[in-house]
A and B are shown apart, each in its own frame.
Chain A
Amino acid sequence: MSEDLLSVKNLKTYFYTEYGVVKAVDGVGFSLNRGQTLAIVGESGCGKSVTALSLLKLIPMPPGKILEGEVLFEDENILEFSEKDLQTIRGNRIAMIFQDPTTSLNPVFTIGNQIMEAILTHQNISKKEARERTVKLLEMVDIPNAKDRLHDYPHQFSGGMKQRVMIAMALSCGPDILIADEPTTALDVTIQAQILELISELQKKFNSATILITHDLGIVAGLADKILVMYAGKPVEYADVNSIYYQPHHPYTLGLLKSVARLDKPREEELISIQGSPPSLIDVPTGCSFHPRCEFAMNICSKKVPESIEVESGHFSACHRVMDKDIFKRR
């Protein structure tokens, strides 16, 4: 296990609000190597973003608190780092891009200023060199007239262009890991593919690892090596991408897959949605938190939390009926 670049074990992040304890991340674990892409998939509010933010301790504390777990980055537990040591990791070795590029860039500074700032914070180079590197980065993410656009403010860019700026900023120090938190959710569908392509292309170029957070299983298929499916703060299924698409072992994953439109299936086939909506993370159902929406639920599902079982080599699922192979057959 120790050759993993990043290894997360039993991560628990709770928020203490006046309405109760929000168990946003409850025992998540995964591992990641160089050149790999891990996709974290789930509905809104299932704890994907909080998982990502917890990795760099970017959770507002209070009300948030990381209760348990380890985030081993090159065998060192980041969660035990001092704030100062964390700052040398953030943006330098592990960088992040966020969901909404429009609000994620500071409106009162030029984009050149914001990218150069990241470089100058972590690297001992002159302002001139930083500026040159910034121009190269902007060219790399296909921003035309990079040299002139350095002096432009975020509001002078379109949404897609802003996300490219965010990517350039995240890659400015050549990070080992890029965390992309729903990088295309706020963008036009036509732009989405371009941005995702850019991310995977640059990943190959830098030989870095990517954590891609999304609610869209459809975009994950071509990009990810591993998939972690989350539901109500808990990991429900974790496997490599082929294994999960070929044979899901959790009813929730099955539901997600059935709800994705496919070009290789007859057009008459109905898209099936998962009934109901995800539970509040304050008041999670007893037992398996998915049981109220699960079509295969049994008595035990509402009583006992299912353990994560290795169904096949490297394929984990947390479901009481995981051995009932027939029910997970994809039509």
Chain B
Amino acid sequence: MFAYTVRRLLHSIPVLILASLVVFILMQYAGDPLARLRLNPHVTPQDIERLEKEMGLDKPLWARYARWSGDFVRGDWGESMSHHRPVLELIVERMKNTLQLMSAALLFTFILAIPIGIYSAVRQYSKFDYAATFFSFLGFSMPIFWFGLILQMILGYYLTRALGFQLFYTASMYSVGKEYDLINRLQHLALPTITLSLAYIAGWSRYQRSSMLEVIRADYLRTAHAKGLSESKVILKHALRNALIPVITVIMLDMPALFGGAVITEYIFAWPGIGRLLHYGILNGDYFLVMGIVMVSAFLVIFFNLLADILYGFLDPRIAYK
């Protein structure tokens, strides 16, 4: 298992290099990083020329890539032009907040979607199943930005007016001065978590349902029944363990998308995470910042793919890593 993991990690190096190359080339055509400065009447053409030399913009593409990638590997991800701070430092700082939101959403989705999926499958065509089907299609078709705004309006604004106090907050991570107040943090966390989770609750519960339905018809479940096991043991031990295998793959492959979904959610709820940083960076043509964040998401894709494969091995003994 260990050797397999190491080998897979080594395999991911060429993938990362390729990804960085593609990202770098695309960024070259995304626009001139100095465009804003050129429009600034206070910046002289001499300044521009000096900056171009400093940043290596006068050199050919391959030379620029070599310089950027060399610095990147050494931990120098460049300086953000809009924040005037090292990109790596900025990303690490914001990543913590994003991970907080992502883990909350992941946990929330998992503990809702999996039981819903199981129950829908076990009681197929019941009222619950139809209701779950209806709401999951609703969840699928609801755009994140719209749903977030609606939540803010109903649970943030109208509910506060009705209750006379603020139960859910609609922006930022905590109220000023209440940084270490857990309840206050949860009140801030609730709405963005629900917003981010919605589509995934819908999706994963569907996957769980269909994979459970497949397993429920399996011969080995008949064996489990014939052994005299209780219904709950048959479902939660024998069926679930098998049904989770394909679902775990889907969940792991959804992780980078969850990261992407965080961009919009963070923007709506003024969550100081990496998504908002990216949004800001793109709007301001912050070249190094965008490069850094895109590379981080490339890392994430590869990391969660690897994690999916390793989890697979734990869940399914038929898969041997040699």
Contacts and interface: CB of A to CB of B under 8 A. Distances in A.
A107 B226 contact: no
A107 B220 CA distance: 8
Classify the interface of chain B: helix, strand, loop or mixed.
Answer: helix
Interface string B243-265: 00100000000000000000000
B218 interface: yes
Given A153-B318, A155-B318, A105 B230 contact: no
Contacts of A118: 227-228
Interface residues of B, number: 22
Given A103-B220, A104-B222, A107-B220, A92 B317 contact: no
Contacts of A195: none
A105 B317 CA distance: 13
Given A103-B219, A104-B219, A153 B228 contact: no
A106 interface: yes
A56 to B, nearest CB: 6
A96 interface: yes
Contact of B228 (A89, A98, A106, A107): A89
A225 interface: no
Interface residues of A, number: 31
Contacts of A121: 227-229, 233
Contact of A87 (B230, B241, B317): B230
B12 interface: no
B71 to A, nearest CB: 47
Contacts of A96: 223, 226
Interface string A84-127: 00111111100110101001111111100000011001100000
Contacts of B238: 106, 109
7 contacts: A100-B219, A103-B219, A106-B242, A108-B316, A109-B241, A153-B317, A169-B227
Interface of A: 53, 56, 58, 83, 86-92, 95-96, 98, 100, 103-110, 117-118, 121-122, 153, 155, 166, 169
Enumerate the 8 nearest inter-chain pairs by beta-carbon distance, A residue then B residue, closest first: A91-B228, A90-B228, A91-B227, A103-B219, A106-B220, A153-B317, A96-B226, A118-B227
